[in-house]
């Protein structure tokens, strides 16, 4: 019987970090996705209305990677009332050659946070101006913070503007990030105000209505919109998405269904978008001038799950952590 | 942090059996499915052509059950050359109320075998004649054997006819089942011959061409066709499926896509089918006379996975087996 490594969240947090290694691993995944050889089935989505819950499952086979992952993410939005986090879940790694279970990564969503933020860094690497001074973020949750830390890895900005629906939370988030990254921080009254004050803006909210309009646009702005991952969410006004100088998405199929391309399609607007992997492999250009306004829409792909889980498993086996288990 | 039970195949084989308890549990699942309140997303399917592999993932939320399962089934058909079984996989159980991971059942496909065979017993319970003498089976693999054992639980027949593409394997399978169930056995030259010798025939092959034609039909025959679970498989001639007196399926949505209704639809034939759960909850009749020819097509549902995994978890926690794990 094969040996399976069972790894818990604490062990994973000790080994896997939001660093350039994780960013590089995720970029490799996007390059593979652009090759057309990745197998990535549609996201499995299930509602559990009785308990205000939902479950998403993602997977992808990436040629050249020893394993493929199945990532299961339950989201139960009444959990905070019960003293539990809304998001949970795990990743299971299977051998690409035999399908045998190699590892169960009980990460409670930690690896998803890392691979999602890492994708934001990949987008900024190709689309933000080379030197930026000012970043902005919409949203004050865990992923908003990870996104800003990831952005700082590739574009070490000096000041940050935070916008949140709750201004107190925005202040707390700004202060924490200011201390962590040793940068100046401020809080904006509106999303567009945050955009106006930013060279790079990350939208990291579950908003159901557009937050960024043409009022927030200015030459040189790059926006990474990573909040919309369901067919009822959107953060960017459809006319903005359709009219930016360079429009990039993680997955066309997913972004049309549940990303920012959905409202654009529904509005009947024309657009021209390429996939992020095409920038990573050089087949499409990234930013071409300091004046361009660019937008990258991220919905989160199974490829990112497979590559971060494989990376985590490599670190686990090298470190000799996790519990070996006979199946 | 929540406690997670990790359970291996040996422990599961000790606790979960192909018995009337499992059959009843699976029947409860079908009743829930018929209620219309189950959430069951489409099967996630992924090909790994480089290694002649594939992966299916199934899930369902069944109201009234404490947990929902995500079942992942890799099938890698070159594995036997490497000394490994083709089928593997595991089930992960999540709390229905919070989405928190409760248990990882490292069953290597064992629970799938049990819940699949149990569904065959449920079908026979409602569609086979009350008293039968003779059973038949197409196929000589593990599931063919489980199906015959499950059938014997609900219809204790006295003789069995086995057909297989390889006659030696058919003989071995027949002899083993004859000894295990203390019944007379024989081997048929053709699938239709097996059908002609049977009151109940179970088709349990991965055939891509129809095996049962109108030549095999006779009054009173019940067929359970459980082999087709992909859009290129079929075991029953389309005109037979369309013309039986009573046509039942586990899931209309799945059977049209990858069960016996696919070829019927492709041939443009009319048919009238109900779901097995409607027989279980009494809203549709089962067999109405000893002369009817009946057919039940099973593709395997996420509901069965959720109910068998929940059942297994109940037994595990009662027995105190499995390893508790802090996530």
- Facing residue for B76 by CB, picked from A76, A98, A327: A98
Residues of B in contact with A68 (CB under 8 A): 46, 48, 55
pLDDT of residue A171: 98
| Dist CA A181 CA A152 (whole Å) | 8
- A316 domain-assigned: yes
What is the nearest CA distance from A102 to chain B, expressed in angstroms?
10
Subunit contact B6:A94, Cβ cutoff 8 A = no
Subunit contact B99:A79, Cβ cutoff 8 A = yes
Subunit contact B74:A99, Cβ cutoff 8 A = yes
Subunit contact A99:B89, Cβ cutoff 8 A = yes
Residues of A in contact with B39 (CB under 8 A): 46-49
pLDDT of residue A1: 55
| Secondary structure percentages of chain B, helix, strand, coil, to 5 | 40, 25, 35
Subunit contact A76:B92, Cβ cutoff 8 A = no
Tokens for B315, please give them.
Answer: 């037994």
Subunit contact A100:B94, Cβ cutoff 8 A = no
pLDDT of residue B321: 83
A254 with A314, same domain: the answer is no
* Closest chain B residue to the Cα of A81, Cα to Cα: B98
B49 with B197, same domain: the answer is no
pLDDT of residue B1: 55
* Closest chain B residue to the Cα of A52, Cα to Cα: B97
- A121 domain-assigned: no
Residues of B in contact with A57 (CB under 8 A): 44, 57, 59, 70
- A206 domain-assigned: yes
What is the nearest CA distance from B178 to chain A, expressed in angstroms?
30
B310 with B283, same domain: the answer is no
| Dist CA B141 CA B131 (whole Å) | 26
Question: The domain containing residue B72 runs over which residues?
Answer: 3-112+303-326
pLDDT of residue A324: 80
- Torsion angle of C-alpha atoms A104, A105, A108, A113, degrees rounded to 10: -140
**Of A129, A112, A118, A117, residue with least CA distance to A57:** A112
Residues of B in contact with A98 (CB under 8 A): 51, 53, 74, 76, 79, 82, 84, 88
- B119 domain-assigned: no
* Closest chain B residue to the Cα of A97, Cα to Cα: B51
A58 with A155, same domain: the answer is no
A268 with A222, same domain: the answer is yes
- A120 domain-assigned: no
| Dist CA B69 CA A25 (whole Å) | 30
What is the nearest CA distance from A216 to chain B, expressed in angstroms?
38
Please write down the long-range contacts of B177-183, taking CB distance under 8 Å and 24 or more positions apart: B177/B145, B177/B148, B177/B149, B180/B149, B181/B148, B181/B149, B181/B152, B183/B152, B183/B157, B183/B158, B183/B159
pLDDT of residue A320: 87
What is the nearest CA distance from A29 to chain B, expressed in angstroms?
16
| Residue segments in chain B with a per-residue pLDDT below the cut of 50 | none
- B31 domain-assigned: yes
A28 with A76, same domain: the answer is yes
Subunit contact A88:B100, Cβ cutoff 8 A = yes
Is the ipTM higher than 0.90? The answer is yes
A153 with A218, same domain: the answer is yes
| Residue segments in chain A with a per-residue pLDDT below the cut of 50 | none
pLDDT of residue A321: 83
Residues of A in contact with B327 (CB under 8 A): 8-9, 90, 106, 108
B199 with B237, same domain: the answer is yes
B141 with B255, same domain: the answer is yes
- A118 domain-assigned: no
pLDDT of residue A322: 78
- B123 domain-assigned: no
Tokens for A127, please give them.
Answer: 């689309």
CATH of the domain at A199: 3.40.50.720
* Closest chain A residue to the Cα of B95, Cα to Cα: A74
B292 with B194, same domain: the answer is yes
Cβ atoms within 10 Å, residue A290: 11
A213 with A238, same domain: the answer is yes
A142 with A47, same domain: the answer is no
Residues of B in contact with A76 (CB under 8 A): 97-99
User: What's the domain count of chain A?
Assistant: 2
CATH of the domain at B68: 3.30.1780.10
What is the nearest CA distance from A318 to chain B, expressed in angstroms?
21
Is the Cα torsion angle B288, B289, B293, B296 positive or negative in sign?
positive
- Facing residue for B63 by CB, picked from A50, A59, A76: A50
Subunit contact A325:B6, Cβ cutoff 8 A = yes
């Amino acid at each position: 019987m094969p040996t399976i490594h069972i790894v818990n969240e604490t062990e994973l947090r000790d080994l896997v970090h939001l660093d350039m290694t994780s960013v590089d691993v995720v970029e490799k995944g996007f390059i593979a996705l652009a090759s057309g050889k990745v197998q990535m089935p549609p996201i499995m989505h299930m509602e559990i209305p009785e308990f205000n819950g939902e479950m998403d499952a993602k997977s992808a086979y990436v040629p050249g990677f020893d394993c493929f992952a199945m990532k299961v993410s339950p989201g139960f939005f009444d959990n905070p009332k019960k003293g539990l986090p809304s998001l949970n879940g795990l990743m299971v790694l299977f051998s690409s050659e035999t399908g045998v279970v190699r590892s169960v990564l009980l990460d409670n969503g930690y690896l998803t946070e890392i691979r999602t933020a890492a994708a934001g860094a990949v987008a900024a690497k190709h689309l933000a101006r080379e030197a930026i001074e000012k970043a902005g973020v919409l949203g004050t949750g865990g992923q908003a913070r990870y996104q800003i830390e990831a952005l700082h890895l590739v574009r070490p900005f000096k000041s940050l503007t935070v916008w949140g629906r709750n201004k107190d939370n925005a202040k707390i988030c700004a202060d924490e990030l200011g201390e962590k990254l040793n940068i100046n921080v401020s809080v904006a009254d509106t999303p567009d105000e945050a955009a106006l004050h930013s060279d790079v803006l990350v939208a990291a909210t579950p908003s159901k209505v557009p937050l960024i309009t043409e009022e927030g646009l200015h030459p040189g702005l790059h926006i990474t919109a990573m909040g919309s991952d369901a067919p009822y969410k959107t953060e960017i006004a459809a006319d903005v998405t359709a009219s930016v100088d360079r429009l990039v998405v993680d997955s066309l199929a997913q972004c049309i269904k549940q990303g920012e391309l959905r409202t654009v399609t529904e509005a009947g607007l024309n657009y021209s978008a390429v996939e992020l992997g095409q920038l990573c492999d050089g087949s499409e250009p990234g930013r071409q001038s300091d004046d361009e306004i660019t937008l990258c829409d991220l919905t989160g792909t199974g490829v990112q799950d497979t590559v971060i889980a494989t990376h985590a498993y490599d670190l686990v086996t090298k470190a000799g952590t996790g519990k070996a288990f006979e199946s």
